[in-house]
């Protein structure tokens, strides 16, 4: 029998501390594991500009500054490790994956690799502020034969 699993989709740079506990509690109540799919939303031009800036610093003899600019991946990996440490003491099996694509492509790619997901939870930042258009959400619903839950930010 396969282990049930939820897929929680969030942007890497968002503060999902308010909604992640909800997703973890849902996984615990349903006796399921959870995979957190972190999506990098940096644009190619931003990455290119950062690379060009690092090259400029390196050419000017500022190798230390250039290395700091290029070490961004190490800092990102530390965030993933801290996320795993923070939530491994729970009774939920937590896994973290990353993707460098738009939300729709990242989820489709994830489903090509893992088909054990029973439900998709979209964090508020993914669906708020026109980050994901209604047309994209409808296409996602048609493409994936799993329930998709859009989450809202908690309000007081």
Q: What's 12's domain CATH number? A: 3.40.50.620
pLDDT at 72: 61
Establish if 65 belongs to a structural domain. no
Phi, psi of 115 (to 5 degrees): -110, 10
pLDDT at 106: 87
**What is the span of the domain harbouring residue 85?**
5-45+74-150
Residue 65: left (phi > 0), alpha (psi -120 to 50), or beta?
alpha
Total residues belonging to the chain: 156
Instruction: Tell if the pTM clears 0.75, that is, is over it.
Output: no
pLDDT < 50 regions, the chain? 1, 74
């Amino acid at each position: 029998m396969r282990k049930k699993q939820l897929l929680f989709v969030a942007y890497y740079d968002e503060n999902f501390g308010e909604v992640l506990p909800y997703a973890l509690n849902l996984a615990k109540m349903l006796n399921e594991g959870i995979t957190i799919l972190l999506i990098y939303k940096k644009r190619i031009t931003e990455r290119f500009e950062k690379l060009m800036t690092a090259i400029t610093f390196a050419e000017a003899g500022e190798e230390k500054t250039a290395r700091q600019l290029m070490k961004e991946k190490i800092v990102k990996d530390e965030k993933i490790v801290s996320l795993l440490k923070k939530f491994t003491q729970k009774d939920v099996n937590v896994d973290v994956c990353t993707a460098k694509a738009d939300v729709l492509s990242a989820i489709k790619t994830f489903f090509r690799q893992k088909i054990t997901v029973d439900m998709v939870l979209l964090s508020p930042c993914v669906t708020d502020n026109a980050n994901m258009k209604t047309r994209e959400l409808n296409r996602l619903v048609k493409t994936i034969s799993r329930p998709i839950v859009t989450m809202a930010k908690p309000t007081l």
